[in-house]
Amino acid sequence: MKTDNRVKKTFPVLQMSCASCAISAESIVKGLNGVNNASVNFATATLSVEYQPEIITPEQIRTAVQDGGYDLLIEDDKDAAADVLEDMHIKKFNVLKKKTIFAVIFSLPVVIIGMFFMDIPYANEIMWMLSTPVIFWLGRDFFINAWKQAKHRSANMDTLVALSTSVAYLFSVFNTLFPQFWLDRGVHPHVYFEAACVIIAFILLGRLLEEKAKGNTSSSIKKLIGLQPKTVTVSENGNYTELPIEQVNIGNIIVVKPGEKVAVDGVVIEGSSYVDESMLSGEPIPVLKKEGEKVYAGTINQKGAFLFQAEKVGADTILAQIIRMVQEAQGSKAPVQKLVDKIAGIFVPIVMSIALLSLAVWFIYGGSDGITHGILALVAVLIIACPCALGLATPTAIMVGIGKGAEKGILIKDAESLELAKKVDVVVLDKTGTITEGKPVVTDIYWLNGDDNKKDVLYSLEKQSEHPLADAVTNYLAGIVSVPIWEFESITGKGVIGLVDGEKYFVGNEKFLDENGVIVDKVLLEKMENSSHSLKTMIWFSDSKKAIALIAITDEIKTTSLSAIQQLQSSGIEVYMLTGDNYATAKEIASKVGVNHFHAEVLPQDKAEFVEQLQSEGKVVAMVGDGINDSTALAQADLSIAMGKGSDIAIDVAKMTIISSDLTKISEAIKLSKQTVATIRQNLFWAFVYNLIGIPLAAGVLYPINGFLLNPMIAGAAMALSSVSVVSNSLRLKWTK
């Protein structure tokens, strides 16, 4: 995506092991010349970077990241990058699995000897022999990464693990080789080989479970990607050829057999069938597709067969756009994450200070066992204070929330929107295409004195208009030969003007005719008054002097609009309806769908001003629309929601898109936001509480009271469980209704 000379790209980040790694990698990239902004998401392991390509290249960014001990995956081909990442994820998971199994096998006898058989001959030497491969072979990555961090005067979770295990291991080796040093001072030379190797085993197990859980959080993306068929059957001059999906071009005629997936977006040109569009709309009922109907990539054909012509292929299909939007949204940061990032950035140095302070206090005030207890406390503090739970708390919940939204037909552009939706207290609805179907049809044209000899002028004027109601008129008058229009002018929110044979003609609302001094006959006025209570929109057609015709257009109310508005109101949200339509029609529709507040004859700029006015009253406003005329109001709103069957510009501007255009999805989106934010708060609460309780316990704060001192092994287990519990809590969102 380009903005002026800036380029925004997302790259997978490799070799990150904790939340502090993400902070470190982010600060490296942010400090580079030519980088405007950078954000690293630990849960998705991605870097979103905005840079100036004439100053810096992705290769230079990668080099800087590599210098910091991490790596970037730079692939122009997104599919190739996804395949490489998937392979790496599987490889990493398998390596972690092997290391964890071996660490447990080696650690188990060390724990048994250390706890129950300390008096057997050569007990210390056996434990030393078994724990050495755990520390220096299975746990070597902790030391390598800690050294890389140290070279850049930085520290992360690996630093804590490397320091704690090496201190426990070296202390135990010293006590094994030189026990007399302590015996001469009246202290028993304890060894803590079991603590050192069990810590490594627990942390490897924690990372294995975390890797598996993080894989589950992105299952929504995998489901969406799985909807894309690999090959298609193309029809050419009656011959059928099977092609890879990558070779399909716009204009190709594609055959869809019963049970097959639609490969790309297009229009049905022959045959008909019911198609399951639940991946787009979240609705399980199949939709009938016949000639002229649009079909979308990833939808599943039922029993019939049809041919369709490809209109959008590759990255342009709706499915590809959904996948891209969900990936970007899952990688974005919620506002609360910025605070968490700041805490994680200073967390490791603070923990190291507390650990050293614990050692010093024990050494000074701990008596004969002071040094032993001090080293144990130092090891336990370093181990228990893992910032991973803190780093995973927000992004895992966001990933699951956005993925669940996509499955339900609610596309969420970024984490900020998901976090904000729960605060919405006013929803402003556009009428046409939002509350109504957005498929206006002409029911009647009342010609003055029954004289319709100017219908070719009406048809020609409406053919040049971009207004959705103009399509209804041209469809009604289809087959009429158009006449040349001169000096055509479209006045937004009012109507159109054009010259035919030197005479000026107008098509628009009653106010537009008044402004131009047009006289309206009493007979036509009566027709308008009689139709004003039947949900019909009235459009006038006139020459420069008098009204020639009155056109009655209706737009059916969506079946779900009434229940959707009731749901919003019952949850304490105020609902407003805005429309450019006349007051009588607006009032009738508002009463039918239960909207208490509405404004009629509203121009596009008035919509944005109305949203701004509500905001000035302290309201958090969600604007829902589907057309070009809604785009300014959508941009102004706190939360902008586009109907998926609306215009591209409305969808581009909006922060959320309801793919099916079903208004009940707005309540679902707000509920999803509430559930996601509640999950984030639960995660952060447990991550903070865990550290607030765990660190003082590890330092030995209870020892003077009841003699309790936390074993470093238990600290390692608790640390692993904290990360797993946070990710598991986020995964609960998947099954919450």
* Catalytically active residues, by annotation: 430
Question: Phi first, then psi: what are they for 216, rounded to 5°?
Answer: -70, -35
Residue 324: both structure tokens together:
């891209």
CA 390 to chain centre: 20
Q: How far is CA 307 from CA 241, 257, 277, 303, in A?
A: 14, 9, 17, 14
Which helix H or strand E contains 549, and what residues bound it? Answer: strand 547-554
What length does the chain have?
737
Q: Transcribe 118-179 into DSSP letters.
A: TTSTTHHHHHHHHHHHIIIIITHHHHHHHHHHHHTT---HHHHHHHHHHHHHHHHHHHHH-H
Q: What does the alpha-carbon distance between residue 83 and residue 706 come to, in Å, rounded to a whole number?
A: 55
Phi/psi of residue 591, each to 5°?
Answer: -70, -35
Query: For 382, what's the count of Cα atoms within 13 Å in the CB-facing half-sphere?
Result: 29
Provide the token pair at 99: 């290391």
Considering only CA atoms, which of 680, 730, 687, 721 is closest in space to residue 207? 721
φ, ψ of residue 537 to 5 degrees: the values are -95, 135
Q: In this structure, what token pair is assigned to residue 518? A: 């047009």
Cβ atoms 654, 642 nearer than 8 A: yes
Contact 700, 709 (CB under 8 A): yes
**Rounded CA Rg of the chain:** 34
Measured in degrees and rounded to the nearest 5, phi and psi for residue 404 equal -65, -40
Beta strands at 253-256 and 231-236: parallel, antiparallel or unpaired: antiparallel
The conformational region for residue 45 under phi > 0 = left, psi -120 to 50 = alpha, else beta, is left
What is the DSSP code (8-state) at residue 481? P
Report d(CA 347, CA 713) in Å as an integer. 22
Helix (H) or strand (E) holding 72: strand 71-72
Neighbour tally for 487: CB within 10 Å: 8
Let me know: does 469 contact 493? Beta carbons within 8 Å: no
Rounded CA gap, 549 and 671, in Å?
A: 48
Residue 103 to residues 52, 160, 330, 623, 706, Cα–Cα distance (Å): 46, 19, 34, 55, 33
Tell me whether strands 621-625 and 426-430 are parallel, antiparallel or unpaired. parallel
* CA gap 6, 109 in Å, rounded: 58
* CB 307 within 8 Å of CB 253: yes
- Residue 621's contacts (CB-CB under 8 Å, 6 or more residues apart) are 424, 426, 427, 428, 611, 614, 615, 637, 638, 639
Q: Tokens for 253, please give them.
A: 């005629």
Cα distance between residue 505 and residue 486, in whole Å: 10
CA atoms within 13 A on the CB side of 562: 8
Q: Counting beta carbons within 10 angstroms of the beta carbon of residue 115, is it exposed (0 to 12), middle (13 to 18) or buried (19 or more)?
A: exposed
Neighbours of 509 (CB within 10 A): 19
Give a three-class secondary structure readout of 36-63.
EEEEEECCCCEEEEEECCCCCCHHHHHH
Phi first, then psi, for residue 384 (nearest 5°) are -70, -25
